[in-house]
Amino acid sequence: VEATPEWAAEVKRLARQRNATILAHNYQLPEIQDVADHVGDSLALSRIAAEAPEGTIVFCGVHFMAETAKILSPEKTVLIPDQRAGCSLADSITAEDLRDWKAEHPDAVVVSYVNTTAAVKGLTDICCTSSNAVDVVASIDPDRDVLFLPDQFLGAHVKRETGRENMHIWMGECHVHAGINGDELNDQARAHPDAELFVHPECGCATSALYLAGEGEFPADRVHILSTGGMIDAARAAKSNQVLVATEVGMLHQLRKAAPGIDFQAVNDRAACKYMKMITPAALLRCLEENRDEVHVDPETAAKARNSVQRMIEIGN
């Protein structure tokens, strides 16, 4: 199946016919982003899913995102075009691991990144995404310990921003972002002294970019640590005509649309998430034709997880 204008028209017709809205994450293939009703980061899409008047949500993203939509709207039908679209970061902590960790710190507040399974969310006090993680941690009583999971690089970023010492960080990582390394970023930043740098906090290189900014190697105002949605806003406000982007390569599509006059370059053009790319034009068409894959979350788990996700969508609004 090719992403032709006929394909796009058929996708839109089927979605309308069954009263569905199509959501796409910023890392989706360009043709999927272009046919969607809404494109955004994980926080924006969670909010849209919670408020959507349509009875069906077609989530073009990875499984935990569709699961989060189902937790927020159990009465809606949530479909994902390919349920095998997982996430290596969400796989880095199980509910069992979290139970053991909580037993070691019984009084701590648990903050989980939205990139986790529903079962992990059920054991969590507040969820966050990369765009509100700092606000979420800052909202917690400074005397309480925090267990932050599962991403070590986002955790390091939040700890730096909040200056919080009583934060314990799980050592998980996303294989795509961890693979964008500091040397590559530094070489490119030195080779393009006028470019701004947009770095996702899941990147291992976020720390190295900030270190070099702190050492005066790069002016600090060249380096921006941003969620994918934050990158779009920053693109519209950018002063430079070149931006180096350290995140999954799907991001370049919305950035180029938001600011056509700017030259956006990937720091690592091999940084593609194979899970995000499982949502192909053929899979989206089949999803609408055959009603699959439907996302189910066990109602008891969903009820436990709902509070933490609800608090996430309320903070940093």
Question: Any known ligand binding at 19?
Answer: no
Structural tokens at position 150? 């599962």
Site for ligand 13P in 170-209 (CB under 6 A): 174, 202
Cβ-contact 220, 213 below 8 angstroms: yes
Question: Any known ligand binding at 87?
Answer: yes
Nearer to ligand 13P, 174 or 279 (CB): 174
Minimum distance between the CB of residue 209 and ligand SF4, rounded to whole angstroms? 19
Question: Any known ligand binding at 130?
Answer: yes
The item of ligand SF4, ligand 13P, none sharing an interface with residue 88, based on CB under 5 to 8 Å by kind, is ligand SF4
Distances (CA, A) of 273 to 28, 280, 294: 9, 13, 22
Distances (CA, A) of 81 to 16, 57, 192, 290, 295: 17, 11, 40, 10, 10
Minimum distance between the CB of residue 84 and ligand SF4, rounded to whole angstroms? 13
What DSSP letter does each residue of 224-291 carry, written as one string? EE--HHHHHHHHHH--SSEEEEES-TTHHHHHHHH-TTSEEEES-TT---TTGGG--HHHHHHHHHHT
Nearer to ligand 13P, 42 or 162 (CB): 42
How do strand 196-199 and strand 223-225 relate by DSSP bridges? parallel
* Look-up of token digits 């408020």: 51
User: By the criterion CB under 6 A, which residues form the site for ligand SF4?
Assistant: 62, 87-89, 115, 174, 176-177, 248, 273, 275-276
Nearer to ligand SF4, 31 or 173 (CB): 173
Q: Check residue 46 for interaction with ligand 13P (CB under 6 A).
A: no
Which 8-state DSSP code applies to residue 308? H
Question: Any known ligand binding at 175?
Answer: no
The interface region with ligand 13P, picked from 104-112, 127-135, 140-148, 256-264 by CB under 6 A, is 127-135
Q: Check residue 41 for interaction with ligand 13P (CB under 6 A).
A: yes
For ligand 13P, which residue of 33, 92, 207, 227 counts as binding (CB under 6 A)? 227
Size of the site for ligand 13P (CB under 6 A): 12
The residue of the chain with the least Cβ separation from ligand 13P equals 41
**Amino acid symbol at 76:** K
- The H-assigned helical ranges of 58-204 are 63-72, 95-104, 118-121, 133-138, 152-162, 175-178, 182-191
The item of ligand SF4, ligand 13P, none sharing an interface with residue 275, based on CB under 5 to 8 Å by kind, is ligand SF4
Q: How many other C-beta atoms lie within 10 A of the C-beta of residue 202?
A: 26
Which 8-state DSSP code applies to residue 179? T
Structural tokens at position 168? 């314990």
Site for ligand 13P in 277-316 (CB under 6 A): none
Question: Any known ligand binding at 124?
Answer: no
Question: Which residues of the chain form contacts with ligand 13P (CB under 6 A)?
Answer: 26, 41-43, 115, 129-131, 174, 202, 227-228
Q: Which residues are annotated as a binding site for iminosuccinate?
A: 25, 42, 113-115, 130, 200-202, 228
